[in-house]
A and B are shown apart, each in its own frame.
Chain A
């Protein structure tokens, strides 16, 4: 008897493909158990991408895009009833976590979010996740059959061998009426930057005195072939940079080869976003700033003197 299948769901196409890879790396190689949801309103090529990405089966929900969490959860509940998954893998995006919580409540399922590694151990799933605002890593255990684990974007497995014939199942649902109405959608400024993919990052914190001084930071980033990152206050409070530059617990997690932190104190909620950087440089005029404990190269000094000097050193 083959074990209960995995069911992968994310409204983000790239994350959905990553989930299928992750599921295939967990699945019994001889099994046929990785199924992926093609949500309503998905891009036309998603079904083919998921099939090429290694899914054994697709659960296709036709119809226009849906934003109401309760309708999405009811739709997924219907798929769960038919597909009988042992483990549901979700993307731990904002919408992913919201729908995970709603579905977990609806079907009384165990659920975990923010996972960075997943392993099957007998009847339970061992999940590594960020804990204590990213200050720590927790190992948590959730029973299979079925349960929801939402993994942070970027958590995936190797590219699996494609499947010869992919089973496609349509779910023409009759969901309950939505409880919320979306009256407007505004694209956020910025949005082109994919800082999580940058190889080098120059991050600026509240050590920056005024918005105009960003020119100097941008020049340094250019000289290093880097993208500009920032701490929460610069994006959320000052609004000097758009949210796509924001690094940390409530921003982006980055994995560059070089991370230069300028005028950044190093709060735990920031450190969680940059912990996996290979080489970390910190410039801060306070020798006791916590960021120095996370640095490979440390300069105690004024960024307003160091940055121009670095530009001279690199540009010369």
Chain B
């Protein structure tokens, strides 16, 4: 493997959940106009890809499926060290669901010559489904290891620590492998000023569904989002005041006893 490892990494330009505001009267969130940013765990996926390339040699290709603004997620990936950038796009990109995204990523993988290792986030910040990674692996017919917290490569074999609710599993798989990661795996580096500048000049390969041999029917949504609303949880909002900590504490205790929740 003189040329090192071919690594693909998926970056979603998703909705910025911290900045999303609901309409005051209806409580509804307008998804189409919501501010966007790179999905959190995808930054960890890019960082891990770049670290593996630094250790083992090879190339890192970042792929985003989305609209024109998704170029920003690709630029950020390049600033951390991705070598090649690809944007999979079409006019109707906003209608693509998990199934369509997985299909497009699988077709793009084939188009770009295949990857030994494909890294994704274990859940996207906005949708948090945890589906695209395993779905992509099934589309490609390759191994998948989700919820990875530690990753190493030993002679064409991926060794991963998979974090489940109550246990950690050590799992090995031969290339090609799809791996999903969370934010515990690493701390993404901050891009330098020069890296940011260079990244904004990097060429983005644009791929459309027809370039990838996919017909519109194959990408038609099967899951539709009907409405997104911020739930109303009415809270009493009682400010406990007092001159000393003991006064505050006594008043809080009494209020909680009144509620029947403190001994």
Chain A interface (Cβ within 8 Å of chain B)?
67, 69-70, 73, 93-95, 97-106, 108, 110-114, 126, 130-143, 147, 179-188, 191, 200, 223-225, 236, 243, 249-250, 257-258, 267-268, 275, 278-281, 293-301, 305-306, 308-310, 312-314
Q: Is B248's CB under 8 angstroms from A306's CB?
A: yes
Q: Among residues 178 to 226 in chain B, which have CB atoms less than 8 Å away from a CB atom of chain A? A: 182-184, 222-226
B24 at the interface (CB under 8 A from A): no
The 9 closest A-B pairs by CB, nearest first: A105-B138, A101-B134, A179-B143, A309-B249, A110-B222, A309-B245, A184-B170, A258-B261, A105-B135
Contact with A along B237-263 (1 / 0, CB 8 A): 111100011101110110110010111
CB-defined contacts of A141 to chain B, threshold 8 Å: 223-224, 226
Known: A142-B223, A298-B237. A181 touches B249 (CB 8 A): no
Tell me which of A102, A268, A310 contacts B134 (CB under 8 A): A102
Q: Is A101's CB under 8 angstroms from B236's CB?
A: no
Chain A contact residues, majority secondary structure: mixed
Chain B interface (Cβ within 8 Å of chain A)?
15, 17-18, 20, 22, 29, 98-99, 102, 125-139, 142-147, 163-174, 182-184, 222-231, 233, 235-240, 244-246, 248-250, 252-253, 255-256, 259, 261-263
CB-defined contacts of B130 to chain A, threshold 8 Å: 94, 97-98, 101, 113
Q: Is B253's CB under 8 angstroms from A314's CB?
A: yes
Q: Is A297's CB under 8 angstroms from B131's CB?
A: no
CB-defined contacts of A268 to chain B, threshold 8 Å: 17-18
Q: Is A279's CB under 8 angstroms from B22's CB?
A: no
CB-defined contacts of B165 to chain A, threshold 8 Å: 93-94, 243
Q: Is A70's CB under 8 angstroms from B222's CB?
A: no
Q: Is B226's CB under 8 angstroms from A139's CB?
A: yes
Nearest A residue (CB) for B187 = A237
CB-defined contacts of B22 to chain A, threshold 8 Å: 136
Determine the distance from Cα of A102 to Cα of B174 in the docked complex, in whole angstroms: 18
CB-defined contacts of B164 to chain A, threshold 8 Å: 94-95
CB-defined contacts of A249 to chain B, threshold 8 Å: 128
CB-defined contacts of A133 to chain B, threshold 8 Å: 17, 125-126, 128
Q: Is A295's CB under 8 angstroms from B143's CB?
A: no
CB-defined contacts of B136 to chain A, threshold 8 Å: 105
Q: Is A310's CB under 8 angstroms from B20's CB?
A: no
CB-defined contacts of B256 to chain A, threshold 8 Å: 258, 279, 281, 297
Min distance, Cβ A127 to any Cβ of chain B, angstroms = 9
20 A/B residue pairs, CB under 8 Å, sorted by A? A67-B169, A93-B165, A98-B133, A103-B138, A104-B99, A108-B99, A131-B225, A133-B125, A136-B228, A139-B228, A181-B171, A182-B169, A184-B170, A186-B168, A186-B170, A187-B167, A188-B167, A298-B239, A301-B245, A306-B249
Q: Is A137's CB under 8 angstroms from B228's CB?
A: yes
Q: Is B263's CB under 8 angstroms from A224's CB?
A: yes
Q: Is B182's CB under 8 angstroms from A250's CB?
A: yes
6 A-B pairs besides A131-B126, A243-B165, A299-B239 with CB distance below 8 A are A131-B127, A132-B20, A180-B172, A180-B173, A296-B237, A297-B240
Min distance, Cβ A84 to any Cβ of chain B, angstroms = 18
